[in-house]
Homo-oligomer: A and B are copies of this chain.
Amino acid sequence: MRKDPKLFQHGTLAMLVAGLFDGTMSIEELLKHGDSGIGTCSGLDGEMVILDGIAYTIRRNGTVEALSGDVKTPFACVHFDPKSPGQKVSGFSLPELEAYLKGQGMGNIFYAVKLTGRFAKMKTRTVFKQEKPYPGLSEVADQQAVFEGENTTGTLIGYYAPDLYQGIASSGFHLHYLSADHALGGHVLDFQLAEADLSLTPFIHLPTSNADFLQANFDLASLNDQIQQAEH
């Protein structure tokens, strides 16, 4: 039996927003649940990229390091890459990629996205390792290091989360990048694609073939009131 692709997530983004940066799961344990994904290390020590079963961190000075199994993470998402054949895409910027995928009815689905190829432009950031007492995530993001590269070859990996998942994940795209030569990486702020293979891995505990669901607009502003009224 083919197993459905599953996303494994440790922690929530809301925990990082609240400054809960202590690592609480080892990389060794994390990699039992997936060979591909993104995350961060204890103390928010860099941006993590997991590819082919190896976890890397991109540090504040831009260096890339493969992590040993005993390093701990407060927040990471992994899945097993089904290595399904991708589609050739070219020319997209980040907003254009998002608009393209939403146009294909992917706006309400939670899925992994991987782009492997050449990027005309790539702009990333990394956060800095923090010490206790930890600040909140938005203060940390104000001090980020930004890196830019042209004509880099590498892998962009991450997730698209529908708006409903804001807080558990980061709604919309949450993407990290690692160049093949390990000279550039981090949390993706922007890019301009030259050409790449695009592969998508939907996590299908949602009704991915139901037309009403795919087209629905969820009114998050009134959701809390409506659930309180209906369920209690």
Q: Footprint of B on A, CB under 8 Å?
A: 8-18, 20, 22, 24-25, 74, 136-138, 140-141, 164-168, 170-172, 174, 187, 189, 205-207, 209-210, 212-213, 216, 218-220, 223-224, 226-227, 229-232
Contacts and interface: CB of A to CB of B under 8 A. Distances in A.
B137 A230 contact: yes
Contact of A216 (B13, B20, B187, B219): B20
Contacts of A229: 138, 141
A74 B168 CA distance: 22
Contact of A227 (B24, B166, B219): B166
Contact of A138 (B8, B174, B230): B230
Nearest to A174: B231
B17 A223 contact: yes
A interface secondary structure, majority: mixed
A150 to B, nearest CB: 22
Leading 10 A-B pairs by shortest Cβ distance: A24-B207, A141-B230, A170-B231, A137-B230, A138-B230, A138-B229, A17-B226, A138-B226, A24-B210, A167-B223
A11 B8 CA distance: 17
A224 B213 CA distance: 23
Contacts of A216: 15, 18, 20
A171 B223 CA distance: 11
